[in-house]
Amino acid sequence: MLYQNFFYSPQADALFSDKATIGYMLQFESALAQAQAKHGMIPQACADIIYNNCVIENIDIQLLISQVGLGGNACIPLVKQLTNVVKKQNTEAAGYVHFGATSQDVIDTATILQAKDAIILIQKDLDKVINQLQILSENHQKTLMIGRSFMQQARPITFGYKVDTWIDGLTRAKERIERILQDCFVVQLGGAVGNKSAFGEYGDNISESLATILQLKNSKLSWHTQRDRIVEIASVLGILIGSISKIAKDISLLMQTEIGEVFESSEEGKGGSSTMPHKRNPVACIAILANAQRIPNLVATMLSCMTQDHERATGQWHAEWETFSQIIQLTGGALHQAVNLTNGLEVNILNMSKNMEATNGLIYAESVSLALSKFIGKSEAHQFVEKNCREAVRQGVHLKEYLSSQEIIKKYFSKEVFEKLFL
């Protein structure tokens, strides 16, 4: 995949190869046989033969892919191949492959297993990002910089504060991921119309054992057309990426040539332009921002797919497949880039300080106004400061200098107190 090292995380992506995807489906089939044997639905010996044959080497992946179009999913040709393989060893066991299950049981459970593995990787990357930001925050609790609203200089903040707000969103994202790992990764087992009828009296027990084997949560009812949990996973990732992209947006703005306050770490060959030596392209930011541009609409697709018909949906389920994978993979990629981005951020304190002087002190006008209001009332103070700002601008003088000669200032503020208003 051309952009696998830019929009994606190679490690997370490996979980989504055709081979890996089929592997998750085989996990289901082998666990199902075990669970059924445990509750006496099929002979243990048959289950063992099935178990032993649920290995990717037994599957001709290209053949499988060529047959997906006929039945409309990847499970039908997989079961066909698996059954043939098992049959060569034992005819009876072949009869128990995928016994009583429906394609959606396999595909949904495989998807959940796959998503879980990927999200655990994402979780680790998120932890790294948070840790790296926490160190950054600690180092810059006193680093003054300008706060900006609507991209206009507003009033001073510290860079540590800015980083704290980044961490704040990520911390909640982390809690959301922990919660969905508890709640949303459930096994799917229902059979043709979802009611476990093909499993007879042992349906619930088999489902329970299947969940245990696969280390998933059990779901009392099958969720063939009740997609809220899988959509919740998608939306939690969407929100996470929103918080990540806010950081990338800030840094890409701070990296502007004219601002130059924070930079992605420079690395040999990274982000440079051979013909424009001064450029430091925000490459990691770009990858994150690009993914953040795409994920919200993929989440919308997941939400819109919830309007499913009857016991198995006509297209809405199928639209989920690649969409859900893409959300996870793009999230994985964004986190991977975020780890790089927040590792070795270069903070240019000099430029932060220099930029704060860009308005010749006007960013401190509110401080003066607030301090003065205690003496002469808010409106009076406001009018006084406003008038003096205009005049300072007209004369091209720094506000501090201009105000320091005004009587009203001298009357109410000592030099020390006055100076503090400009910090």
Q: From the CB of 364, what's the least distance to a copy of itself, in Å?
A: 10
* Those residues with Cβ within 8 angstroms of residue 158's Cβ, 6 or more apart along the chain or in another chain: 140, 141, 142, 143, 144, 145
Return the CA Rg of the chain: 30
End-to-end CA distance of the chain: 51
Q: Which is nearer to a copy of itself, 131 or 281 (CB)?
A: 281
Quick check: is 235 catalytic?
Answer: no
Active-site residue (options: 312, 367, 373, 404): 312
Q: Which is nearer to a copy of itself, 150 or 416 (CB)?
A: 150
DSSP 43-104: -HHHHHHHHHH-SGGG--HHHHHHHHHHHTSSHHHHHHHHHHHHHHH-HHHHTTTTTT--HH
Active-site residue (options: 66, 197, 266, 273): 273
Q: Which is nearer to a copy of itself, 7 or 51 (CB)?
A: 7
Q: Which is nearer to a copy of itself, 54 or 327 (CB)?
A: 327
Q: Are 371 and 408 in contact (CB under 8 A)?
A: no
Quick check: is 273 catalytic?
Answer: yes
Q: Are 293 and 238 in contact (CB under 8 A)?
A: no
Q: From the CB of 243, what's the least distance to a copy of itself, in Å?
A: 6
The candidate with the shortest Cα–Cα distance to 236, out of 175, 306, 168, 320, is 175
- Residue in this structure with the two tokens 């389920």, named with its chain if needed: 317
Q: From the CB of 266, what's the least distance to a copy of itself, in Å?
A: 11
Can you tell me the distance from the alpha carbon of 100 to that of 191, in angstroms, rounded to the nearest whole number? 6
Q: How many CA atoms lie within 13 A of 74 on its CB side?
A: 22
Q: From the CB of 378, what's the least distance to a copy of itself, in Å?
A: 3
Q: From the CB of 108, what's the least distance to a copy of itself, in Å?
A: 14
DSSP 140-206: TTT-EEEEEETTEEEEEEEHHHHHHHHHHHHHHHHHHHHHHHHHT-B-----TTSS-GGGGGGHHHH
Q: From the CB of 212, what's the least distance to a copy of itself, in Å?
A: 21
Q: Which is nearer to a copy of itself, 210 or 262 (CB)?
A: 262
Q: Which is nearer to a copy of itself, 218 or 373 (CB)?
A: 373
Positions marked active-site: 273, 312
